């Protein structure tokens, strides 16, 4: 039962352009959403989060958008940098249970 | 400042054995969560602890158990190991529940 889905396993973007990573969820009871970045041989690193009562949260080059009616979450990275190349996971929480998507591998080309 | 530390980093066990994985959270963090990540998938939530109490449990069999100690470190125990338990086990800690978890690098468990 995959409650959080990332349908794009990979994304390739040119340096300086916008990267948009998408995430869909099925459970309308999720109260918090998070994005994590993961490099090989390391644990996931927290990037940015958003409460279910908001529709946008911005932190530097990273912006997360939440569309509750569509049950859709997206992460925008502007401008993209080669160091952003990693696997990105979206996650959602519901009553202290966490659910992760399967990840999207982002490749930012110089 | 030390991050989340997990031990051991790698482990090989035989089917039917028991394993204990350990996690030390970032100093001051009171919440610890455990995840199982199978190759090609996202982390699957196993347990969450806050202030030494279990606050959340994922869909894992009773062979999986955990606890959090007074110093906020945590152990994950798995009994009667199966081949399918082979995975990367991640621990994450946070100051408070549901926000900004920092992950350790994980313990790679191989069951043969």
Phi, psi at residue A97, to the nearest 5°? -110, 135
Q: A98 vs chain B: nearest CA distance in angstroms?
A: 6
Q: Give residue A40's pLDDT.
A: 83
pLDDT level of residue B98 (50, 70, 90 thresholds):
low
Instruction: Assess B106–A contact: CB distance below 8 Å, yes or no.
Output: yes
Residue carrying structure tokens 């940015």: A48
C-beta neighbour count of B70 within 10 angstroms: 7
pLDDT level of residue B83 (50, 70, 90 thresholds):
very high
Instruction: Please determine, for residue B1, whether its predicted confidence score (pLDDT) is greater than 80.
Output: no
Q: How many CA atoms lie within 13 A of B3 on its CB side?
A: 14
Q: Give residue A77's pLDDT.
A: 98
Of A42, A99, A101, the CB nearest to B105: A42
A&B contacts, CB < 8 Å: 65
Give the residue-averaged pLDDT of A30-40.
90
pLDDT level of residue A45 (50, 70, 90 thresholds):
confident
Spatial distance between the Cα atoms of A22 and A29, rounded to a whole number of angstroms: 19
User: CA A81 → CA A11, A107, B4, distances in Å?
Assistant: 13, 9, 27
Give the residue-averaged pLDDT of A40-49.
85
Instruction: Please determine, for residue B99, whether its predicted confidence score (pLDDT) is greater than 70.
Output: no
Q: Give residue B56's pLDDT.
A: 87
Q: Give residue B96's pLDDT.
A: 76
Closest alpha carbon to B107 in B3, B4, B9: B9
Spatial distance between the Cα atoms of B70 and B54, rounded to a whole number of angstroms: 13
Q: Give residue B12's pLDDT.
A: 97
* Contact state of A4 with B42 under an 8 Å Cβ cutoff: yes
Q: Give residue B17's pLDDT.
A: 98
Tens of pLDDT, residue by residue over A17-29, are 999 999 999 999 9
CB contact set of A44 (below 8 Å; sequence gap of 6+) = A36, A37, A38, A89, B43, B90, B92, B103
pLDDT level of residue B95 (50, 70, 90 thresholds):
confident
Q: How many CA atoms lie within 13 A of A76 on its CB side?
A: 13
Instruction: Please determine, for residue A43, whether its predicted confidence score (pLDDT) is greater than 90.
Output: no
Closest alpha carbon to B51 in B76, B77, B74, B34: B74
Q: Give residue B109's pLDDT.
A: 97
Q: Give residue A108's pLDDT.
A: 97
Tens of pLDDT, residue by residue over A46-100, are 899 999 999 999 999 999 999 999 999 999 999 999 999 999 999 998 777 788 9
Instruction: Assess B9–A contact: CB distance below 8 Å, yes or no.
Output: no
Instruction: Assess A39–B contact: CB distance below 8 Å, yes or no.
Output: no
Instruction: Please determine, for residue B102, whether its predicted confidence score (pLDDT) is greater than 90.
Output: no
Report the mean per-residue pLDDT for chain B. Answer: 92
* Contact state of B98 with A32 under an 8 Å Cβ cutoff: yes
A87 touches A103 (CB < 8 A): yes
A64 touches A12 (CB < 8 A): no
């Amino acid at each position: 039962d995959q409650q959080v889905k990332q349908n794009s396993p990979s994304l390739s973007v040119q340096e300086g352009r916008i990267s948009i990573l998408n995430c869909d969820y099925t459970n309308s009871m999720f109260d918090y959403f998070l994005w994590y970045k993961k490099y090989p041989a390391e644990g996931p690193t927290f990037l940015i989060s958003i409460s279910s009562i908001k529709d946008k949260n911005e932190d530097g080059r990273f912006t997360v958008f939440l569309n509750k009616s569509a049950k859709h979450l997206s992460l925008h990275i502007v401008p993209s940098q080669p160091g952003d190349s990693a696997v990105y996971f979206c996650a959602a929480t519901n009553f202290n249970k966490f659910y992760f998507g399967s990840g999207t591998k982002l490749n930012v080309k110089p | 400042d030390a991050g989340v530390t997990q031990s051991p980093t790698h482990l090989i066990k035989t089917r039917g054995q028991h394993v204990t994985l350990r996690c030390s959270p970032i100093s001051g963090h009171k919440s610890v969560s455990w995840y199982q990540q199978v190759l090609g998938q996202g982390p699957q939530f196993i347990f969450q602890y806050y202030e030494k109490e279990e606050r959340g449990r994922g869909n894992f069999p009773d062979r999986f158990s955990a606890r959090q100690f007074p110093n906020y470190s945590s152990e994950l125990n798995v009994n009667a190991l199966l081949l399918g338990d082979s995975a990367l086990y991640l621990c994450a800690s946070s100051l408070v529940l549901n926000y900004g978890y920092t992950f350790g690098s994980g313990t790679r468990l191989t069951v043969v």
